[in-house]
Amino acid sequence: MHVKGSFFTTLSQRMTVVRTEETHCNLCGGADRDKLDEELGFGIWQCRDCGLVYVSPQPCAEELPRFYEEMYPNADEATVAARGFGWVERHIAAIVARRKPEGGRFLEVGCGYGALLEALSPQPLELHGLELSETAAAYARTRVPTASIETGPIEDAAFPPASFDVIALIAVLEHVKDPRAVLERLTALLAPGGLLIVQVPYPHPYIKLKRVFPRLPVSFEAPRHLYGFSPVTLERYFREAGLTAIRTEVARPYSGASRLHAGLIWAVKIPGIVLAKLTTGRWIYPFAAAIVTHGVKK
C-alpha cells in the first residue's frame, strides 16, 4: 500500500502490512468508540471516554521494523533536504534553551537524519540519539560528530534510569504501538527535574472537517500513524507518567512542497500560535495540525 502525505507533510511512502490486530484505547482502556474515518482499510476511532484517537486494526509489532526501513530508503542530500523545513527543530531547541538553560544530558528518540541534534549543538548539552533506521543513523553521525547515536528500539535501549536531563521526540509517539509504556519508560530515564518534550500531529479536527468537505487535502496517514493526540489527551498521558509543569504549544510547519505551500501552512498556524501565546497555552487552536507538549519529572 502507499501511505500519502497530507497538506501538512509531503512525506509519502510505500508500506507493507501483512498481519494486523484489533486494539482498544491505550489511554483509558475504554472500549466505547466512534468511527471518524477509514484509510486504506484501517479504521480511525475516537474513544468516547477520554477522546484519544487511534487506529484499529493496527499492524502487529513485528511489522514495524520494516516500516522504518521503508521510511528512510536512502540518505542523499535531496531526500534529507525534503524531509523538513527545520522550523520544528529550531522551535524545540528554543524550548530546551528556555526550560534547561544549564544544559545537561540530552536524548532524542527517533533522531532520523539528525536535524534536531544539529540545531542543539550550540547548547551546553551532551547529545545522544536513538534511531531505528541504520541509514538515517549513519547520516546523523556524520552530520553531528559530537553526538553519540545508537540504533534500536527504545524498549531495548540499555540506558540506566535517570540517565538524561532532557528527552525529546519529534513525530515519533504517533507511530508506536503503546504510547503509555513508551512515556513511562522515558520518564524513568529522566533525572528528577528532567524535561520531556513531545511533538506530535493533532489531526482529528481536520478528519472531522472532512465529513463536511470531503475533498480537503488532509489525512490521518493510517497505518503509519497509529494515534492522534490532542492537548487534552497528551497532557493526561504526561500527568499519568509522573510529569508536572506541563505546557502545550502549536508546533511549527514540518515540511512542504514549495515556498507557497510553506506560506499557506504558516497562514493556517499563525492564529493558533498567537492565541496559544496570549493564553499561555490554555487555549490551543483545534486546527493547529501538530502540537508540542513539554513537562518536568517530579
Task: Name the residues that contact Zn ion, by CB under 5 A.
Answer: 25, 27-28, 30, 47, 49-50, 52
- How far, in Å, CA of 15 to CA of 158, rounded? 29
CB of 284 to Zn ion, least distance (A): 19
CB of 25 to Zn ion, least distance (A): 3
Q: Considering beta carbons, is residue 128 or 225 the nearer one to Zn ion? A: 225
CB of 31 to Zn ion, least distance (A): 9
Q: Are 287 and 230 in contact (CB under 8 A)?
A: no
CB of 99 to Zn ion, least distance (A): 29
- How far, in Å, CA of 221 to CA of 257, rounded? 17
CB of 28 to Zn ion, least distance (A): 3
Q: Considering beta carbons, is residue 30 or 217 the nearer one to Zn ion? A: 30
Q: Considering beta carbons, is residue 30 or 73 the nearer one to Zn ion? A: 30
Q: Considering beta carbons, is residue 28 or 162 the nearer one to Zn ion? A: 28
Q: Considering beta carbons, is residue 50 or 209 the nearer one to Zn ion? A: 50
Beta strands in the chain (DSSP E): 2-3, 13-14, 20-21, 33-39, 42-47, 53-56, 58-59, 104-109, 125-131, 148-151, 164-170, 190-202, 227-228, 243-250, 289-297
C-alpha cell at 39: 484509510
Residue 83 is which amino acid? R
